[in-house]
Structure 1
Amino acid sequence: MTESAQQPQKNVLIVTAHPEPRSLNAALADFAAEHLRAAGHEVRTSDLYAMKWKATLDADDYPDHPADQRLHVLDAAGRATAEGRLSPDITAEQEKLLWSDAVILQFPMWWFSVPGILKGWIDRVFTYGFAHGPGMPPPYSNGGLAPRRALASVTFGAHEPSFSDRGVHGRLKDVLFPLHHGLFWFTALAPLEPFAMYDVNEAPDDRFEPAKLEYADRLDHLFTDEPIPFRTLDGGDYDHDMRLLPDVQTAATSGPDIHLRPRG
């Protein structure tokens, strides 16, 4: 029996973004769903391409917004969220997030970011008043969508060494910082270390079996692995301008690493 099977039943939302249903990303999403269900967890999926997800945020997201008024997105989203008058497709995805104990984003890395359809899901679903905003604790803390967890499962065409400290693409942790810190941690989703597959454009079919074993281990520890230890905004490490205080910065750290709490 796996460690995952011994854990209490949890709810997991898998959001996948790839236009080809026979792709590696689709196979990884299907495998994750099957593995988690076999361990006793409940799983829901949002296959954004299959859903024909509307990627662009616009006034149609807020059906009661007066047509003769300028669209101030934050205000309009906040009012529509508070009044329960968001577009039904947004409301359905928010309900899935609230239902979940963990969310997995499955996607290929395109131009150092998520595919546009997934960015549109983020833009439209994480509304002001739902994932952040009035009546909630400050961002980058334990409020918002806590105590849910978040895992990015990402495929790359590039070689793994190219996403290293001397790699031409930069460190993977820096490339994913906007997702891990700017989305997950901003809304208090506890960000886990990513699951990554490299060289996927040239990968032979027999690479999927060992990858499944590695991914299964990550899924078995979805609710027990330690999250990335980002600092909390309200923990005394930042000033009123949200700047890290000089005396708490760990020696010899720079860039995004300064926002990590020392381990141990």
Structure 2
Amino acid sequence: MNISILYGHPYDKSFNKAILQQVTAHLELRGAAVKVKDLIQLSFDPVLELKDLEAKFTKVLPEDVAKEQGDLLWADALIIISPVWWGGFPAVIKGYIDRVFTTALVRSAEGVYGLEGKRAYSIFTTGSSEDYIRTSRQKDMLYAANDNLFGFAKFADAELKLLYSVPRVTPEERQAMLLEVNQFVDRIFDLKPGEGESTKDSPSHLALVEDLAKH
């Protein structure tokens, strides 16, 4: 099992970092080959520039994008570990998606889905309560973003776990959360592709199928 982890928190003593360390160790214990993409440490440039757009026509990708695409193709599953800031991804995560998930990789002009059948497991932390995240519609926005990205790319599974009120929980509650993320990523091993939560019946995926049928 090959697993790539996309990580986007700048603080080295954050709870996100503890999750990253826990998940990486647990995956390796279960026999996975793991590549960690610490975007801050990699100084990954999240800004989509003209060179990125030109690559659609020249077929010559920027070196950093080409490397990341190679690792995405290598992976059976992608795990995203990230805080929720202002209802969404930090800029470095969003920029990674903008630059690396290119149209040609996700769906070629010939209709080939390059990432089809892969699996996505996202772990997000928030400083707010579950009630606030729900009533403010941030939960809806996060699930919609997950749905649109991985549904369009035809991932077999697209699961999301939210951890709430992280700055205010007790040390014991944080330890319980770390056990929860172990159980969450265990689903990659314990379920077959397509047996987990999926975008295949989501509104955006059904709308995509309908749109493609018309064109």
Query: What TM-score bracket applies, with the shorter chain setting the length?
Result: 0.7 to 0.9
Corresponding residue for residue 214 of structure 1:
180
Corresponding residue for residue 252 of structure 1:
none
> Is 1:182 matched with 2:173?
no
For residue 91 of structure 1, report the CA deviation from its aligned partner: 0.8
Please tell me the residue identity of whatever aligns with 1:79: F
> Is 1:86 matched with 2:53?
no
> Is 1:238 matched with 2:210?
yes
Using the alignment, how far apart are the partners of 1:234 and 1:177 within structure 2? 16
Correspondences of 1:1-264 after superposition (within 5 Å): 10-61=1-52, 73=53, 76-80=54-58, 83=59, 85-137=60-112, 143-164=113-134, 167=135, 169-170=136-137, 172=139, 174-223=140-189, 224=191, 225-231=195-201, 232-233=205-206, 238=210
What do you get for the CA RMSD once the two structures are aligned? 2.2
Using the alignment, how far apart are the partners of 1:188 and 1:91 within structure 2? 21
Asked if 2 retains the 8 angstrom alpha-carbon contact of 1:180 and 1:191, the reply is no
Please tell me the residue identity of whatever aligns with 2:102: T
Using the alignment, how far apart are the partners of 1:171 and 1:59 within structure 2? 31
Please tell me the residue identity of whatever aligns with 2:141: V
Using the alignment, how far apart are the partners of 1:171 and 1:178 within structure 2? 10
Please tell me the residue identity of whatever aligns with 1:201: P
TM-score (norm 1): 0.72
Higher normalized helix content (fraction of residues): 2
Query: Could you list the per-position Cα deviations for residues 160-199 of structure 1 after superposition, in whole angstroms to 9, with x for gaps in the alignment?
Result: 12233xx2x1272x22233222111111123433111100
Calculate percent identity across the aligned residue pairs.
29
3-state SS of paired residue (1:97):
helix
Asked if 1 retains the 8 angstrom alpha-carbon contact of 2:79 and 2:120, the reply is yes
TM-score (norm 2): 0.87
Unaligned runs of 5+ residues in structure 1 are: 1-9, 62-72, 138-142, 243-264
For residue 229 of structure 1, report the CA deviation from its aligned partner: 4.5
* Higher relative contact order structure (alpha carbons within 8 Å, sequence separation ≥ 6): 2
